A and B are shown apart, each in its own frame.
Chain A
Amino acid sequence: MKTRGKILVVATLLLAVVVLAGSYLHSHPIAVLQPAGQVGTKERNLMIFTASISLIVVVPVFVMLGMFAWRYREGNPRGRYDPKFEGNGRLEAVWWAIPAIFITIIGVITWNSSYALDPFKPLQGNKPLHIQVVALDWKWLFIYPEQGVASVNEAAIPVGTPVDFEITSDTVMTSFWAPQLGGQMYAMPGMNTQENLMAAKTGDFRGVAANISGSGFAGMSFTVKSQSQSDFKAWVGAAQHSGSKLTDFTYMNLARPSSNNKAAYYAAVQPDLYDTIIMKYMMPTDGGDSVDAVGVSF
């Protein structure tokens, strides 16, 4: 009776947890599992597949753990005690083999998916939209070289069109991540990385800086606005009429540390701004990093 009471309590608790968790998850989106673009979708499918086939190792382990613990517990007369049973070549071969098979499958998946989902690989479809992304302290600058506009913390993209993000940083290293569209990519000063993504749905998708980058890091998020072709054109048009221009000087002001910035738009961008930002770090001396500049001498 006592045991039954305990089981009842535990079962009730578990049920309560399941109900609460279920209702919570029902009302809250899980970005990675509810992707809005093909890259994210493939990555999610891969995740679910890998987790499922790992059951060929997990299930035997859990079943044996429970069974052996119960059957061979001290004081159970039904469990046979055989202290000499301390090795068996055939059995051991089986459990070198089970994880080996599992890992072979994972290995093939790894190889294929690394090529198929290489973030640098252009996506099939219309002519891609080209966006240059600059991580700043602590906001994201998006430059549209073909449209001649730029924006802060907001990137509009046309739905169903591949987008080729080129990514760099004009401060410390951080990571560019819009989970509903697909995986992340590091943004690093003096480096140019790439991420090819495409939205399958319209909507506002959250993006973040995924790697710690200083005190404003937690607020360094952006919105990807996936829009119809005409809405996108309207967005570009609105930016073009926003008045302000992104020149050397305005960029210098923008690049100063600030946090929790609202979206902002630039009607024009100095050509080659993105390349200048990267090349700055290639110069033999930049002054910014030298010890003297911070007023500390040896």
Chain B
Amino acid sequence: MLLGHVAFALLGRLGWNQLPPNAIAYGGAAMVVGGLLAVAGLITYLHRWKWLWKEWLTTQDPKRIGVMYVIVALIMLLRGAADAFLMRAQQSVSVGSNQGFLDASHFQQIVSAHGTIMIFFVAMGLMFGLINLVLPLQLGARDVAFPFMNASSFWLFFAGMALVMASLVLGDFSAAGWLAYPPLSELKYSPTVGVDYWIWALQISGIGSLLSGINFMVTIIKMRAPGMSLMKMPMFAWSVMGSMALVAFAFPILTVTLTLLALDRTIGTHFFTAGGGGNAMMYVNLIWAWGHPEVYILVLPAFGIWSEVVATFSRKALFGYTSMVWAIWAIVILSYTVWLHHFFTMGAGADVNAFFGITTAVIAVPTGVKIFNWLFTMYRGRISFRSPMLWFMGFVVIFTIGGVAGVMMSVPAIDYQVHNSLFLIAHFHMMIIGGVVFAFFSGLSYWFPKIFGFRLHEGLGKVAFWFWSVGFIVAFTPLYVLGLMGATRRLDHYDASLGWQPLFIVAGIGAALIGFGVAAQVAQLVVSILLRDSNRDLTGDPWNGRTLEWSVPSPAPFYSFTKQPVVQVRDQFWADKQAKKSHKEYEDVLLPKNSGWSVAVGALAFTFAFCLVWHMYWVLPLAFVGVVVTLVVRSMNDEPEYVLTAREVEKLDQAQARKVKEYEAIQS
């Protein structure tokens, strides 16, 4: 009895009964634990712990932080894709008397985890990763405005990811859909820890995102190379600026909304409960007031990537630069005026629905303009169809079709018939995979040589592209039809008499084709690393690029530039190449020292959230004070930076040049 009380005081809700309930869930847990042990074992075996800590975990170099983001995001992509395969597999067999292999609650957890992971830990991770890799280099800056904050953002993102993964081992995950509408997500209807995991994973990583948003915003405003006026910035930088403006204003809404839901669940308030004065419609409004801008937070940097890729591979400057800038800001403003289109069916009056329907459709105008401008960048160009450009071709086709579905759904009277159906699912996957994920894949193969010094294997990249594109069409076209047949999203079972099974099987085959695409990407990475000596980028400019990141050798050195560049025109590097200008100068470089404190911030945030999920209340003040103390101690540090003298820079630069010579010898 006493023991029970002590255990409850110490461990809260955590107990042996929180281990996975069945074989499939055990499989997931085993993969998490096994994966961790395997990685830890490998690092120990290779004696790499110290190296890992000094070179990577404590780094403040945005390029390395970017790489860590991308690695985490790609691992989470595997998890999210595995969830997708389980869903389609269940739906292919769970018909009539066959109940499939997942029970309803488990299926709904998988659905919720899939959405949450793909948006927060894959798309956002790839986005922040690419921004970290590319943005400072493009601006001619050596760093972001607040390096320590940047590293802390990553560790908060990591902590959020770790919480989602922990839910596979201890307890369960939310089964209330990826946005956890109350009352279903309230304690009465979801009494387990699942929704708490969801709340705190998003809360922690969301705070990281907010900090990143501010950081990159300030970076763009304050850290551009001398001479680079705003209208001379690369389009990717513009798109990041638009996206980060959205982050800075949208993520606080998410933070507040999640806090209110957490209060409902932990201390019994009634913000969104059914009864007790709560109003769930408030939650639905708030979550979409964040959620819709979130779509554009993801898609704007994607548009920025297309602008770079299309210009480079067409060997022309981006067409209609000024139009493109205006289009970005039109999208930024409009994206705050459309959130209600996610719930036309909640009973608002005709005038309210009509207003939000029209604002929604209006976003198609600047988006359409961007597509036309990319097409005219190709016009009278010299287009080289390397894999980054192929992703763009796939994007235009898929995104345009998905966009038409989107415009259709912007008409409320049409939306009533497709909302919550698989038609909607097909639409937004076309936008987010076709629009966002394809762009990030394109960007990754485009900038990969800049970061690692060698190109990704082109043949396997093309294989991946074709599997993804064809698989995508096979996977999602049936969903349009199923939606129109009346199939709703998140169904773990349906009647045989409906005759939907063939379409679900086709969709499952499509998912399997995408799986081959993912496998091809994994193979591409492995093969490229093995064959790196034959794929070295010796010039630093493998694609005949236009912007400043291509002016430094590959891999980009940690000090980025030997001397900060001065900019006179847009696409300065291209202009320099045309004028055959090249110069090597050196200057003293100020760089941030490594810091373990940002890792501590992430670790303490994880501890705080994990203990809150399990109601181990005694830990909370300790963890919270820990975060505060960490920040204070770190702020007391008067020398967070060190100077690399011009002489040292010159030495390092010449060492790299010698290495390039060696590789040249190997290749020839």
Question: Does chain A have a CB within 8 A of B267?
Answer: yes
Contact partners of A118 in chain B: CB under 8 A: 349-350, 353
List the B residue with the shortest CB-CB distance to A64: B375
Number of B residues with CB within 8 Å of any CB on chain A = 111
What's the Cα separation between A50 and B406 when bound, in Å? 11
Query: A252 interface residue, CB < 8 Å from B?
Result: no
Segment with Cβ contacts to A, from B30-38, B153-161, B486-494, B630-638: B486-494
Q: Is A254 an interface residue (CB 8 A)?
A: no
B108 near A43 with CB under 8 A, answer no
Is B532's CB within 8 Å of the partner chain A? no
User: What chain B residues lie within 8 Å of A213 (beta carbons)?
Assistant: 184
Binary interface encoding of chain A residues 179-193 relative to chain B, with 1 for a CB under 8 A from any of its CBs, else 0: 110111110111101
Q: Is the CB of A40 within 8 A of B417?
A: yes
Flag whether A241 is at the interface (Cβ < 8 A). Answer: no
B104 x A113 contact (CB < 8 A): no
Q: Does A177 contact B (CB under 8 A)?
A: yes
In the bound complex, CA of A289 to CA of B189 (Å): 9
Residue B27 lies at the interface, judged by CB distance under 8 Å to chain A: no
- B350 neighbours in A (Cβ, 8 Å): 114-115, 118, 121
Closest Cβ of chain A: how far from B17's Cβ, in Å?
15
Could you pull out 12 A-B pairs where Cβ atoms are within 8 angstroms?
Answer: A29-B485, A30-B481, A79-B382, A80-B380, A81-B381, A98-B368, A110-B357, A189-B183, A190-B275, A215-B105, A217-B108, A298-B268
Known pairs A95-B372, A289-B274; A214 contacts B184 (CB<8 A)? yes
Task: For A212, list chain B residues within 8 Å (CB).
Answer: 108, 111, 176-177, 184, 489-490
A86 close to B369 (CB less than 8 A) = no
Contact A120 B347, beta carbon cutoff 8 Å: yes
- Chain A contact residues, CB within 8 Å of chain B: 24-25, 27-33, 40, 42-44, 46-47, 50-51, 54, 57-58, 61-62, 64-65, 68-69, 72-74, 79-83, 85-88, 91-92, 95-96, 98-100, 102-103, 106-107, 109-111, 113-121, 171-173, 175, 177, 179-180, 182-186, 188-191, 193-194, 206, 208-219, 221, 280-281, 283-286, 288-294, 296, 298
Does any Cβ of A come within 8 Å of B445's Cβ? no
Roughly how many angstroms separate A172 CA and B407 CA in the complex, as a whole number?
A: 30
Task: Contacts A42-B413, A46-B411, A183-B417 given; indicate if A114 touches B278 (C-beta within 8 A).
Answer: no
* Pairwise interchain contact A25-B481, C-beta atoms closer than 8 A: yes
In the complex, which of the residues B323, B407, B412, B498 contacts A114, with contact meaning CB atoms closer than 8 Å? Answer: B412
> Closest CB of chain A to B569's CB: distance in Å?
12
B351 an interface residue at 8 Å Cβ cutoff?
yes
B521 in the interface (beta carbon within 8 A): no
Q: Which residues of A contact B485 (CB under 8 A)?
A: 28-32
Which of B274, B358, B383, B418 is in CB contact (< 8 Å) with A189? B274
* Residue with the greatest number of chain A CB neighbours at <10 A, chosen from B105, B268, B377, B401: B268
Question: What number of residue pairs across chains A and B have CB atoms under 8 A from each other?
Answer: 327
Q: How many whole Å from B207's CB to the nearest CB in chain A? A: 23
CA distance A171 to B190 in the complex (A): 12
Contact with B492, one of A42, A109, A218 (Cβ below 8 angstroms) = A218
Q: Scan residues 468-483 of chain B and give those whose CB is less than 8 A from a CB of chain A.
A: 481, 483
A124 to chain B, nearest CB (A): 17
Contact in complex: A43, B486 (CB < 8 Å)? no
* Interface flag for B79 (CB, 8 Å): no
Contact B397 A68 (CB under 8 A): no
| B347 contacts A185, C-beta separation under 8 Å | yes
Q: Is B416 in contact with A86, judged by CB distance below 8 angstroms?
A: no
| Interface status of B364 (Cβ within 8 A of chain A) | yes
Mark out the residues of chain B between 398 and 424 whose CB falls within 8 Å of any chain A CB in the assembled complex.
400-401, 404, 407-408, 410-421
Determine whether B191 belongs to the interface, using a CB cutoff of 8 Å to chain A: yes
Bound Cα distance from A40 to B414, whole angstroms = 9
Question: In the complex, what distance in Å separates the CA atom of A57 from the CA atom of B275?
Answer: 48
How distant is B343 from chain A, measured CB to nearest CB, in Å?
A: 7
Task: Decide yes or no whether B642 CB sits under 8 A from chain A.
Answer: no
- Does B385 make an interface contact (CB < 8 A)? yes
Quick one: which of B324-370 are within 8 Å of A by CB?
A: 343, 345-347, 349-351, 353-354, 357-358, 361-362, 364-365, 367-369
Quick check: B421 and A28 within 8 Å, CB to CB? no
A77 to B408, CA, bound (A): 42
Interface check B593, CB cutoff 8 A: no
User: Is B303 part of the contact surface with A, judged by Cβ < 8 Å?
Assistant: no
Q: In whole angstroms, what is the CA distance A298 to B343 when docked?
A: 34
Measured between beta carbons, the chain B residues less than 8 angstroms from A85 are 316, 319, 379-380
Given contacts A30-B481, A72-B383, contact A106 B347 (CB under 8 A): no
Q: Does B74 sit within 8 A of A, measured CB to CB?
A: no
The list of the 9 closest CB pairs from A to B, nearest first, reads A183-B416, A291-B268, A99-B368, A189-B274, A114-B354, A286-B275, A95-B372, A117-B413, A82-B380
Beyond A172-B184, A294-B191, list 18 extra A-B contacts (CB 8 Å): A24-B503, A61-B372, A69-B385, A79-B382, A82-B316, A83-B381, A103-B407, A109-B411, A114-B353, A114-B411, A114-B413, A115-B350, A115-B354, A173-B181, A185-B345, A210-B488, A293-B188, A298-B266
Please determine whether A81 and B380 come into contact, CB atoms closer than 8 angstroms: yes
> Among the interface residues B103, B421, B485, which one has the most CB atoms of the partner chain A within 10 A?
B485
A32 with B418, Cβ < 8 A, contacts A172-B274, A215-B108, A296-B187 known: yes
Cβ-defined contact, A281 with B381, below 8 A: no
Q: How far is the CA of A34 from the CA of B376 in the complex (A)?
A: 41
Q: Is the CB of A113 within 8 A of B413?
A: yes
Pick from A62, A107, A206, A208: contact of B397, CB under 8 Å: A62
Residues of B that sit less than 8 Å from A by CB: 103-105, 108, 111, 175-177, 181-184, 186-189, 191, 265-268, 270, 273-278, 280-281, 314-323, 343, 345-347, 349-351, 353-354, 357-358, 361-362, 364-365, 367-369, 371-373, 375-385, 393, 396-397, 400-401, 404, 407-408, 410-421, 481, 483-486, 488-495, 498-499, 502-503, 615, 617
Contact of A107 among B184, B361, B491 (CB under 8 A): B361
Give A137's nearest chain B residue, CB to CB: B189
Residues of A within 8 A of B367 (CB): 99
Contacts of A209 in B (CB 8 A): 488
**Contact between B280 and A31, CB atoms less than 8 A apart:** no
CB-CB under 8 A from B414, the residues of chain A are 43, 46-47, 50, 113
Name the distance in Å between A261's Cβ and chain B's nearest Cβ: 14
Shortest CB distance B352–A (Å): 9
Within 8 Å by CB of A289, from B278, B364, B417, lies B278
What is the distance, in angstroms, from A213's C-beta to the closest C-beta of chain B? 6
Q: CA A285 – CA B320 in complex, angstroms?
A: 60
Bound form: Cα–Cα A25–B381 in Å: 43
CB <8 Å contact, A189 and B275:
yes
Q: Are A50's CB and B411's CB within 8 A?
A: yes
* Residue from B361, B377, B384, B417 whose CB has the most chain A CB atoms within 10 Å: B417
Expressed in whole angstroms, the minimum distance between the Cβ of A80 and any Cβ of chain B is: 5
A35, chain B: closest CB distance, angstroms: 9
B380 adjacent to A188 (CB under 8 Å) = no
Whether A96 and B375, one on each chain, are in contact in the complex, defined by CB atoms closer than 8 angstroms, is no
CB-based contact A91/B376 at 8 Å: yes
CA distance A14 to B350 in the complex (A): 43
Q: B408 and A186: CB pair below 8 A? A: no
Residues of A within 8 A of B365 (CB): 96, 99-100, 103
Check B378–A290 contact: CB distance below 8 A.
Answer: no
Please give, as numbers and ranges, the residues of chain A lying within 8 Å of B384 by CB-CB distance: 74
Beta-carbon contact of B404 and A51 below 8 Å: yes
Query: Cβ of A32: which chain B residues have Cβ within 8 Å of it?
Result: 417-418, 483-486
Cβ distance B77 to chain A, nearest Cβ, rounded Å: 24
Known: A72-B380, A186-B347, A214-B189. A175 touches B420 (CB 8 A): yes
Contact call B486/A208, Cβ cutoff below 8 A: yes
Of all chain A residues, the one with the shortest Cβ separation from B280 is A173
Residues of A contacting B105 in the complex (Cβ-Cβ under 8 angstroms): 215
Which residues on B sit within 8 Å (CB–CB) of A25? 481
| Chain A residues within 8 Å of B372, by CB | 61, 64, 92, 95, 98
Closest to A178 in B: B486
Q: What residue in chain A is nearest B384 (Cβ atoms)?
A: A74
Complex partner residue of B319 from A86, A96, A288, CB under 8 angstroms: A86
